[in-house]
């Protein structure tokens, strides 16, 4: 499944970047794997075991044709108060049920993105996300910049730092968000090399 595939891809990328990752001094020798190969096997096997089943579509009342300032306020609350980039807790009523979510790893449906995000990452206070500048919106799109420390929900809870921009495209007839697109300031390899262990 696509969400499962994402976890395998991320785990594999962590393996590729592992040669440049240093374990935090906060761990005592007894809590650190006895070898790097054991550590890598643990990450990959944990990701492979975490199969996420897609849920059925949820029929909700949609907030159609919201003014730009209203939808911007909702997105800002989702980011600042709900930290939705770390746990999938978004306001579903402003999204089309067929919305497509794309990040630097893959592309997902709405249910896949919500469930995958909630299970792949640890929400606050393990992860932290901040809004950089205002949320800008018009009839065609909603755009904001973010910076976050993202904790993976896998053994040893690695945390990566990244920043970037999210562009949410709106349907011209309904005003609902039909496309979510993340643009990272760093490439995937650089993000994974930033991993620290808590």
Predicted confidence at residue 13, as pLDDT, reads 54
- Helix, strand, coil % over all residues of the chain, rounded to 5: 35, 30, 35
In whole angstroms, what is the distance from residue 182 CA to residue 159 CA?
19
**pLDDT tens digits along 122-180:** 999 999 999 999 999 999 999 999 999 999 999 999 999 999 999 999 999 999 999 99
Would you say residue 5 has pLDDT above 60? Answer: no
- Closest by CA to 154, choosing from 33, 7, 19, is 7
- Closest by CA to 130, choosing from 176, 91, 166, 178, is 166
In whole angstroms, what is the distance from residue 27 CA to residue 89 CA?
31
Domain 2-53+61-197 bears CATH identifier 3.10.450.50: yes
- Alpha-carbon distances of 153 from 95, 118, 119, 138, 162, rounded to whole Å: 26, 9, 7, 35, 17
In whole angstroms, what is the distance from residue 134 CA to residue 73 CA?
10
**pLDDT tens digits along 66-97:** 999 999 999 999 999 999 999 999 999 999 99
Q: pTM for the complete prediction? A: 0.74
Task: State both tokens at 66.
Answer: 């919201």
Cβ neighbours around 3 below 10 Å, total:
23
């Amino acid at each position: 499944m696509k969400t499962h595939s994402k976890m395998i891809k991320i785990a594999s990328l962590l393996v590729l970047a592992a040669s440049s990752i240093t374990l935090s001094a906060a761990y005592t020798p007894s809590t650190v794997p006895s070898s790097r190969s054991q550590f890598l096997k643990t990450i990959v096997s944990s990701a492979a075991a975490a199969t996420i089943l897609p849920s059925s579509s949820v029929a909700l009342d949609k907030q159609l044709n919201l003014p730009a300032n209203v939808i911007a306020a909702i997105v800002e609350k989702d980011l600042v108060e709900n930290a939705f980039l770390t746990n999938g807790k978004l306001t579903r009523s402003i999204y089309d049920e067929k919305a497509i979510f794309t990040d630097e790893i893959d592309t997902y449906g709405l249910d896949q993105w919500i469930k995958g995000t909630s299970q792949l990452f640890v929400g606050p206070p393990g992860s932290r996300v901040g809004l950089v500048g205002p949320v800008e919106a018009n009839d065609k799109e909603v755009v904001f910049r973010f910076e976050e420390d993202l904790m993976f929900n896998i053994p040893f809870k690695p945390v990566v730092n990244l920043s970037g921009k999210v562009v949410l495209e709106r349907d011209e007839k309904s005003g609902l968000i039909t496309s979510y697109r993340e643009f990272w300031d760093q490439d995937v390899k650089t993000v994974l090399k930033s991993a620290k262990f808590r």
